[in-house]
Structure 1
Amino acid sequence: MKARILVVDDEQNLADLVAMALRYEGFDTVTAASGTAALARVADFGPDLIVLDVMLPDFTGVEVCRRLRRQAVHIPVIFLTARDATEDKITGLTSGGDDYVTKPFSLEELIARVHVVLRRTKPSDNPRLVFADLSIDEELYEVRRGGELVELTPTEYRLLRYLMVNANRVLTKQQILDHVWDYDFGGNDGVVQTYVSYLRRKVDGREQQLIHTIPRVGYVMRLPR
């Protein structure tokens, strides 16, 4: 089946151009010109990925993403924006976004990022990962700790999965950036520290600690020593 992509941008010519390029790549695409329209298209179109402009006429793309995450809608989001400050990138990604493309951009770059994000968020052939009393069911998109369901954002989910796949292996912050976000922050690893803290509150909150900091290096998932 074709992957369905929703393109949200109030510049209709740009939205149509992006949608046409994605259709040429074999995707099924529709467009929306506002945050309200985007939320409506999510409900009736059921996209597999959203290409989402940050600046929209009613409310921001970041707010669209936050509303979807509050509704537990785990659709990958690639933000489009004319702003390229690191703080803006971190805001977009910490709101639940999966990647960030700055205008002007090449269609080839955007299409490549669409393929990467879809490939990265596609469930693996092995639907279940287990470490200690922590488990991920990739078919149901469920995370459980001690049998209790844990609600995660898509980025938190990918971070946890990467740590679990590499359990007992120390991962640098740059490795985590490359594999979880697949985006070059120019050496800024603050977003990794932020998301690890989010994940710890949800996964390690009342249980034995599984996510450990290796000072000046990165993080590792292992049993307490």
Structure 2
Amino acid sequence: MKILLIDDEEGILNLVRMNLELEGFEVVTSATGNIGIKKFQDEKPDLVLLDLMLPDLNGYEVMKRMQQINREIPIILLTAKGQLNDKLLGLQLGADDYITKPFDSREIILRIRVILRRINQSKLLNENSENKIEKGFIKLLKAERKIFIDSVEVQFTFREFETINLLIQNINKVFTRKELLEKLWGYDYEGNTRAVDIHIERIRKKFKMHGNAIQTIYGAGYRLEV
């Protein structure tokens, strides 16, 4: 698995790279946003660790440009302690997760391995199930990882795709926020319920006129109705 690490703090860059390489990961590094974007395009990493505070570009802008290249690559943000608004904005813009500085390298490795396991599980499930699912206004192609809303292809991130895939195969089933965290994130973390709410709201916006198809069941969770 190839990981792109973008951070302008040399000490963090070297420490995280060393620990990731000891775990068997291939690591590509960058100390700036512009170089990071170019390496994202050229190196085609499987996952990105992105610091929000970079000397040339805002981390959010870096993430936005990366998503324009490939929305399927999971992005974990590295944020300063206590910057809750930064974390929530990152989730709103499509980040898969965030880790607060200062952090333990073991935490990063845990988060990466969880995401890797989710990716592998998704591939296995998709290989052993029907490729095309059509329900109402949604058409989902698993192998191609494409989703069409009213016959128009809409771009979704890795975790958004997995969420829709889960919901569309369980029409009218209510999922609690805890269940969604376990099934889609694979672990619990600070601010978890807010992260789920933000994630669902992003999907609703991409559903456009069908946003209400994902129903909020107050005191319970969410369900898809089509």
Query: Could you say which TM-score interval applies, normalised by the shorter chain?
Result: 0.7 to 0.9
Aligned twin of 1:145 = 149
Query: Do the aligned partners of 2:51 and 2:78 also contact (CA within 8 Å) in 1?
Result: yes
What's the CA shift for 1:146?
4.5
Query: Do the aligned partners of 1:86 and 1:185 also contact (CA within 8 Å) in 2?
Result: no
Aligned twin of 1:213 = 216
Question: Is 1:107 the counterpart of 2:105 in the alignment?
Answer: yes
Aligned twin of 2:181 = 177
Q: How many residues are treated as equivalent by the alignment?
A: 220
Question: Is 1:222 the counterpart of 2:220 in the alignment?
Answer: no
Alpha carbons of structure 1 residues 110 and 165: separation in structure 2 relative to 1, 3 Å: farther
Write the mapping of 1:119-134 to structure 2, written as runs, cut at 5 A: 119-122=117-120, 123-125=122-124, 126-127=126-127, 128=131, 130-133=133-136, 134=138
Alpha carbons of structure 1 residues 157 and 187: separation in structure 2 relative to 1, 3 Å: same
Query: Do the aligned partners of 1:129 and 1:136 also contact (CA within 8 Å) in 2?
Result: yes
Write the mapping of 1:1-225 to structure 2, written as runs, cut at 5 A: 3-122=1-120, 123-125=122-124, 126-127=126-127, 128=131, 130-133=133-136, 134-182=138-186, 184=188, 186=190, 189-203=193-207, 205=209, 210-223=213-226
Query: Do the aligned partners of 1:96 and 1:154 also contact (CA within 8 Å) in 2?
Result: no
Question: RMSD of aligned C-alpha atoms?
Answer: 2.4
Give the aligned residue type for 1:124. Answer: K
Structure (1 or 2) with the greater helix fraction: 2
Q: Could you tell me how far apart the structure 2 residues matched to 1:124 and 1:188 are?
A: 25
Q: TM-score, normalised by structure 2?
A: 0.84
Give % identity: 35
Query: Do the aligned partners of 1:6 and 1:49 also contact (CA within 8 Å) in 2?
Result: yes
Task: Please identify, of 42-51 and 130-139, the stretch whose mean Cα deviation from structure 2 is larger.
Answer: 130-139
Unaligned runs of 5+ in 1: none
Q: TM-score, normalised by structure 1?
A: 0.85
Unaligned runs of 5+ in 2: none
Q: Could you tell me how far apart the structure 2 residues matched to 1:51 and 1:188 are?
A: 19
What's the CA shift for 1:45?
1.0
The superposition leaves residues 96-124 of structure 1 with CA deviations (integer Å, 9 ceiling, x where unpaired) of 21111111111111101011112223442
